[in-house]
Amino acid sequence: MANLALDMITTSAILFVVASGLMIILGVMKLINFAHGAFLTLGGYAAYLTTEAGLSPWLAPLLAGAVGFGVGIVVERVIVRPLYHRPLDAILATWGLGIIIGQLITIGFGREVQFAASPMTGTLDLGGIEYSAYRLTLTAVALAIGGALTALLYLTRFGLNARAVIMNETLARGLGIDSARVRLLTFGLGAGLACGAGALITPLLSVDPNMGLPWLVNSFMLVLVSGVSIPSLALASLILGSAQVAVSSYISPIIGGLTIVVLAAVLLRLYPKGLGRGT
Amino acid sequence: MTLRPLSIAAVVAALAAAPAIAADTIKIGIPVGLSGANSVVAPSVVQSSEYAAKEINDAGGILGMKVELVVADDNSGAQGAQRAFESLVYEEKVNVLISMETSAARNAGLPIVNRGRTPYIYTSFYEGRSCSPWMYVNAWVPEQQVAPIVDHFMAEYGAKTFFLVGSDYAFGRGMLEFTRSYVEANGGTVLGEEYLPMDGSDWTAIISQLKASGADALITSTAGGAPNVTLTKQLRAAGVDMPYGNLAVDEGTAKSMGADATGIYIAASYVTGIDSAENKAFLEGMTATFGDDLITPNDLSVPQYEAIYAYKAAVEAAGSTDPQAVIDALDDVSVTGPRGTITMDAQRHAPLTMYLGQVQADGSVKVIQSFENVDPGDQCPQFAG
């Protein structure tokens, strides 16, 4: 039972880490970034290159985050910004960008599975229960990311500007906030979070050109259910992640794989605007 | 047979180049998954085919006829296989089909083979019991692969209870269903049998069930590549260290998985470490031919190499490429290759020597035990005797 609870908590934490970058971009830019899966994959390959270069695997998420931030800045400037007033085209553009990143990775590294070294192996003893040390670490990392994002949004000038843009962009611009800059930094931040998350999940996954794809769908569902707020994303991750683990454990792992999508549809029926904005 | 301009040109070129006069060519069709799930392994299969064709042509061909390979991409699936088989059988009019393919591709191709009355040698291990009057198989089936691992776990570790984990598709389920019946027939118990979809990557719940079950040993049969890697990584991260037999990992993958693969048991009809003159000559020849581009020969590419020689032997025994005569002869001819001497005389399948290996800390596979001429059992009783 305790093991089941740990499975639920750690699975939710992983979902939160993976979805946070998508949510930040959606919140500020009103844009579903369909290149999110490709950014996750990019992070996985950044982790692979980091450990190939002989650097500590602990550095991988940080370096991947930096790479993601850089790529995100360029992508926002070159691809997303010219399409800002054509939201549907912008979504299509990120979709295409995802395909291009995937193909470039395939050309560069081939289709085969790559192996990144893990920063830690083995289990921790939690009062009689042996549990994966890395999953527990990921949970701590998820809490740290949640805390850092909250601090960024509520304690910094950038956060204040970002919240103003989230609430009413026209009004924010009228008050002299450089909303283009806020969007640029937000896209960089979202892409950086996605790449960092990709590097964080590689010790549990294989690095291959399609590794981000299943996570894109789950992140998308989570963000739709949660709406734009960090506590509600955490809540959505906890509800959907726990449901997935419970269904996988008690019914069948095959149905468990569908749980997030189905439950998200039901939740959206009950809370059409997402958990963050109530009924 | 009508010669098209291209093949006339090829014959003229052959006449000019080689003093041995090629009156005709033998076309070998190779439908293989150059794209899709098999794309990682397919290039090694093409390499070993090219090497066999080169060896045969250098030695004078088959009955004086040169061998020509026609490779077609089947996209590792049913639709692609239909196109590939139709094109090879009806447009290229190949004399024989020899290939490693997914089960879905093989099942889609078989009706075309039957209609076109073209001999077909299938060179991939698979879940068993696929039968056609036009098909022979020279790779292993569950009866041959599962037994060495289960026997070893029962004898060496005293394992009584097993937990089975696989990917949800024909091969994964077929292998584990056989494993379950084999374990139960030998006095063991299966505590759990769990599957994840082929593109699934979160094994959390299954691993927790495995740990809670307290099983003595674990046997997995996932799709190759990503699912196999994610499962192994997550097992190791969760501290699973019971005897672990993996029915889907090959030597190359085990090597690149690093520390996570250490200790895994595999069973195969070919490992590069087989100590025989034929295997040494084969490996040296492959290295000399392909140099740095060589993809490590494996349990899929070596049967492909041997199957081309089996076809050669059958044509020579029959004295012609007549399809029915070749099919009748394939039952009797033996080929001595890297895997030893193999005859496909067991209901269109082949008794094989199986090697039980364990992945070592340096990534190499150490052969623990070999099992001589393991019988494939009842695969296609209609072709018995």
Give the alpha-carbon dihedral of B295, B297, B299, B300, to 10 degrees. Answer: 60
Residue B385 lies in a domain: no
Compute the residue count for chain A: 279
Mean pLDDT in residue range B268-283: 93
Alpha helices in A30-86 (DSSP H): 36-52, 60-75
Q: What are phi and psi of A161, to 5 degrees?
A: -60, -45
ipTM, interface predicted TM-score of the complex: 0.80
The answer to whether residues B112 and B204 belong to one domain is no
Task: Please list the residues that pair with B120 across neighbouring strands.
Answer: B97, B135
Contact B65, B96 (CB under 8 A): no
Q: How confident is the model at residue B343 (pLDDT cuts 50, 70, 90)?
A: very high
Mean pLDDT in residue range B199-218: 92
Residue B45 lies in a domain: yes
Q: How far apart are CA B385 and CA B371, in angstroms?
A: 24
- Which token pair is B117? 């009355």
The answer to whether residues B135 and B153 belong to one domain is no
- Answer whether A115 sits within 8 Å of B236, measured CB to CB: no
Instruction: Identify the closest residue of chain A to B241 by CA–CA distance.
Output: A122
The answer to whether residues B370 and B322 belong to one domain is no
Domain hosting B34: range is 5-140+275-350
Alpha helices in B215-355 (DSSP H): 226-237, 251-257, 277-290, 301-318, 323-330
Residue A194 lies in a domain: yes
Contact B182, B147 (CB under 8 A): yes
Mean pLDDT in residue range B271-281: 92
- Which token pair is B218? 């674990």
The answer to whether residues B153 and B211 belong to one domain is yes
Q: What is the pLDDT of residue A161?
A: 93
Q: How confident is the model at residue B7 (pLDDT cuts 50, 70, 90)?
A: low
Percent of chain B with pLDDT over 70: 94
Looking from the CA of A255 toward its CB, the CA atoms found within 13 Å total 9
* Set of chain A residues whose Cβ sits within 8 Å of the Cβ of B164: none
How many of the other CB atoms lie within 10 Å of CB of A248? 27
Residue A248 lies in a domain: no
pLDDT < 70: residue spans in chain A: 277-279
Residue A221 lies in a domain: no
- Using a CB–CB cut-off of 8 Å, the residues of B that contact A are 39-40, 168, 194-197, 199-206, 208-209, 211-212, 225-226, 229-230, 233-234, 236-239, 253, 256-260
Tally the domains of chain A. 1
Q: How confident is the model at residue B135 (pLDDT cuts 50, 70, 90)?
A: very high
Q: How far apart are CA A233 and CA A219, in angstroms?
A: 10
The whole-angstrom distance between A18's CA and the closest CA on chain B is 14
- What Rg value do the Cα atoms of chain B yield, rounded? 21
The answer to whether residues B147 and B256 belong to one domain is yes
Give the CATH number for residue B181. 3.40.50.2300
- Answer whether B225 sits within 8 Å of A118, measured CB to CB: no
How many of the other CB atoms lie within 10 Å of CB of A64? 30
The answer to whether residues B31 and B128 belong to one domain is yes
- Answer whether B256 sits within 8 Å of A113, measured CB to CB: yes
Task: Establish, for the pair of chains A and B, how many residue pairs have beta carbons separated by less than 8 Å.
Answer: 98
Contact B129, B105 (CB under 8 A): no
Residue B383 lies in a domain: no
Residue B382 lies in a domain: no
Residue A217 lies in a domain: no
- Answer whether A113 sits within 8 Å of B194, measured CB to CB: no
Q: How confident is the model at residue B4 (pLDDT cuts 50, 70, 90)?
A: low
* Set of chain A residues whose Cβ sits within 8 Å of the Cβ of B204: 7, 10-11, 245, 248
| Facing A254 at nearest CB: one of B168, B208, B256 | B168
- For the ranges A55-64, B174-183, B360-369, the lowest mean pLDDT is seen at B360-369
Contact B380, B347 (CB under 8 A): yes
Q: What is the pLDDT of residue B23?
A: 54
Residue B384 lies in a domain: no
Inform me whether the pLDDT recorded for B1 exceeds 60: no
Helix axes A230-250, B204-213, angle to 10 degrees: 50
Residue whose pair of structure tokens reads 């520390």 in the numeric block: B259
Inform me whether the pLDDT recorded for B56 exceeds 50: yes
The answer to whether residues B32 and B135 belong to one domain is yes
* Set of chain B residues whose Cβ sits within 8 Å of the Cβ of A259: none
Residue A270 lies in a domain: no
Q: What is the pLDDT of residue B12?
A: 47
Residue B215 lies in a domain: yes
Q: What is the pLDDT of residue A40?
A: 97
A242 shares contact with chain B (CB less than 8 Å): no
Task: Please list the residues that pair with A175 across neighbouring strands.
Answer: none
The answer to whether residues B191 and B158 belong to one domain is yes
Q: What are phi and psi of A262, to 5 degrees?
A: -65, -50
* Set of chain B residues whose Cβ sits within 8 Å of the Cβ of A130: 211, 239
DSSP three-state, residue B93: coil
A130 shares contact with chain B (CB less than 8 Å): yes
| Facing A11 at nearest CB: one of B204, B226, B253 | B204
The answer to whether residues B108 and B208 belong to one domain is no
Residue B361 lies in a domain: yes
The answer to whether residues B202 and B89 belong to one domain is no
Tally the domains of chain B. 2
- Answer whether A206 sits within 8 Å of B208, measured CB to CB: no
Domain hosting A14: range is 2-145+156-210
Residue B49 lies in a domain: yes
- Answer whether A253 sits within 8 Å of B206, measured CB to CB: yes
- Answer whether A7 sits within 8 Å of B229, measured CB to CB: no
The answer to whether residues B313 and B359 belong to one domain is no
Q: How far apart are CA B100 and CA B303, in angstroms?
A: 9
| Facing B201 at nearest CB: one of A10, A131, A214 | A214
CA-wise closest residue to B296 among B286, B288, B304: B286
The answer to whether residues B342 and B368 belong to one domain is no
Residue A76 lies in a domain: yes
- Name residues 10-29 of chain A within 8 A of B (Cβ): 10-11
Q: How confident is the model at residue B385 (pLDDT cuts 50, 70, 90)?
A: low
pTM above 0.90, yes or no: no
Contact B37, B224 (CB under 8 A): yes
Q: How confident is the model at residue B20 (pLDDT cuts 50, 70, 90)?
A: very low
Residue A257 lies in a domain: no
Which is higher by pLDDT, B20 or B293?
A: B293
Residue A204 lies in a domain: yes
